[in-house]
Amino acid sequence: MSQSATAHPRRRSLPLLVSLVLALAFVALAFAPRLNPLVGRAEAFQHDIAVASAATYVSLRAINAALSFAQEVEVGGSVVVSGSVRPLKWLEPVDDTVERVSGLVFMVAVITGVLSMSTAPIAAAGCLLIALAFTARCTCDVVPGGWSRTPMPLRRAFDGCGAFGFALAVALPLAFVLGMWGGAWLTQDAWAEANATLARIGGEAERLIGVDRPDMAERNWLDTIEAYRAAAGTFWNSADELLSASLSLTGIFLLRMIVLPVLMLLVVLRVFWHLTGLRH
């Protein structure tokens, strides 16, 4: 009789100790969330996306500025009528498209920045919820009857805290890491090709606005108009490539930042629910 009485507390002491240690560990992670390797890795991926999207935005805005400047070039005339015309105004559709796409890329950069700043606080909140769940489990194990005798509403509430905390502290950063890594692997060829296209057309933008051309001031107006016309023709002929590359980069950003992480989050949560038997 005495042996069973001593064995029972021993059987309860190990889960109690484990729950207490885990509660303290998650409290520590709540106050130092970047000690969580998933949070650090997710922030590193988000920083890379932010840098890449900023570079793409700058390239698109350079092209946009060049196209806008080309449209403002005027040619005066006084033989028949007086006034001036803008012979490169037909570039306006391409210019408008580039401007809209650059706006989308800017939104991606803003979203990336917000996610990068919010990952650590969200993970910290999740760690606090997990710590609360383990602390409640410790408290319930101390009282007579243990966890099994705890009222069902309380058990569901504490399980919900643990599950929600797991989603914020573990599943969410893990989903970002898996989604961004998978997106980078799946889209690396399309990414390189689209960036190469923008770099080539961006070189034409520099040519159009006269970057690194010390002889620009020495050319007469006929040579200047001819140079603008040739460069503008390149833009027009490359309009399909420009649009395709811009939309490809925007799609890649959205795939890496939203689509794949959301899919990975659903998978991780589904596996967690299956292993723990939770549904909410």
Check: pTM over 0.75? Answer yes or no: no
Lowest model confidence (mean pLDDT) among 20-24, 90-94, 260-264 = 90-94
| Domain locations in the chain as residue ranges | 24-276
pLDDT at 50: 82
Which range among 7-21, 105-119, 147-161, 171-185 has the greatest average pLDDT? 171-185
188-240 pLDDT, tens digit each: 898 889 888 887 877 766 666 554 455 555 555 566 666 666 666 666 777 78
pLDDT at 180: 87
151-199 pLDDT, tens digit each: 777 778 878 888 889 999 999 999 989 988 888 898 889 888 988 888 7
Using the predicted structure, report yes or no on whether residue 139 has a pLDDT greater than 90: no
Using the predicted structure, report yes or no on whether residue 105 has a pLDDT greater than 60: yes
75-96 pLDDT, tens digit each: 554 444 444 445 556 667 777 7
User: At residue 31, what is the residue type?
Assistant: F
d(CA 55, CA 53): 5
More confident residue, 210 or 268: 268
Determine contact, residues 143/184, Cβ cutoff 8 Å: no
Q: What's the whole-number mean pLDDT along residues 59-87?
A: 59
